[in-house]
Structure 1
Amino acid sequence: MHGIKKIRLASITLIFSMLIAIIPAQVSAQETSKIHVYIQQELQQWDPSPFIKDGSTMVPMRALFEKLGFLVTWDADKQTAKAVRGGLSISLSINRGTAMVNETVYYLDVTPSLENGSTFIPLRFVSEAAGADVAWNESNRSVQVQFETDPQKRIHRLIDNVTHSGSFIQAAMSITSGDGIKNNGIIVKEITMDASGATAKVKFTADITVSKAVKNDRGVTISPVESVVYEITCDVYKDAFDQWLLQTEPSKMNYVLREKKPFMNTQ
């Protein structure tokens, strides 16, 4: 009997030791996979927690919008969230690949989703639409969301966002008569502030590769045919929340062709 007790005691001790060894490993793995979100260097403690989806950091919708100072309304029938801060409005819908920032349409890399009853939205898209810079640190799996205070840099951020929007792509396709375009980059050439500092005229160039539908013996293919550079001007303004917003929508901007040449494939 004493031998049996010793065996049982040894078995229990072994199992307990194994559990002690496993638990720290599990906790460590959970900590390693956790996403840390900092807004203006303040660590956010959100429940439910952020996660990665298709390479994008997804965060709880209401927590992010309210932290950024937005008022949020939710349309349950359309499963659409609308967040408003001064003159800025952002609308996103569950499983829809486009979003609206005021009157400008944007294509999303990852769609908002419902996870265990909570709505999650892409952190980078919303933060950049709100005028912030977003940086990912792979070594500690953290995201830094920072708001620039310099007006010139904030206007640069706004123009960069707009030229990657679906509305700008559609406007560029219309101007170039292309069936597809590739935005190779923009350069802000001039920002002219008015005396009040509340409005500005922006002049920038956009380097665009234009593709067109070409018929051949295999059917129709979309192929690049030319490269163009347009000089574009638009107006922006600053609202009561000190955020710079687009006053001229992409379809109404002034486009002047500065350069045009046949597409040369360097590959």
Structure 2
Amino acid sequence: MLRAFGQLLRFGREQALSCLFPVVIFAALALTRMIELPLLPRYDWLLILCLLMQVIMVRSGLETRDELKVITLFHLIGLALELFKVHMGSWSYPGEGYSKIFGVPLYSGFMYASVASYLCQAWRRLDVRLVAWPPFPVVTLLAAAIYLNFFTHHYWIDVRWWLCLLVVIVFRRARVNYRVGESRYRMPLVLSFVLIGFFIWIAENIATFFGAWTYPNQTQAWSLVHLGKVSSWLLLVIVSFLIVATLKKVKGEQRAPAESAEPG
């Protein structure tokens, strides 16, 4: 029991360190909500704080340059989704800001990037390995279909639940292998998707409470984000994980021949 408790504490510590970027974003949201900073609107201060944190992460070695490339990709993917969703009225950013484009503050992309930051950090800290990973074309098509559905369901039927079923079928044998201390553990990949999606939904409630963005039902007063949003975050987490996993796999395959070519 003592060993199990110790392992749980180690796992929690690594998870907490992996969440450093999201924690800073939440702290910035809380700070700018409680204290009105001078000279610039709130959204602009949030962008500055996010950029500063990103620089610190890279300069301190907490993130590698390869991870920065992944995080930048997610920033762009998230910003494109934000521009579309705000245009469609799914949510809004009612505050003022010089760094707003078509009603979307640029800091919002960092909220998506923070998910990628967590995945990259956890991958490295827990020495994550994938077991029974599906073929690359299947993974690519599934990730593309999930991302496109965030746009197309406004004009066509919402197929998210069919996509969730496809995820279960495609990844039914897949496992994530990770290390805590000297021991390795396995978890069904689909279960890890659900757990991460659920905790992001909790984080979303915290973010909307601090005014990161506003859903239509929160314009008068804050209320709990609908539980159905878990499915949206679950699918977004899957897209994030598939992109990070694919890039890690490609990087690993590129590194293997280079290492084998080195003289003994």
Normalization by structure 2: what TM-score?
Answer: 0.28
The normalised TM-score by structure 1 is: 0.27
Higher relative contact order (CA 8 A, sep 6+): 2
More helix by share: 2
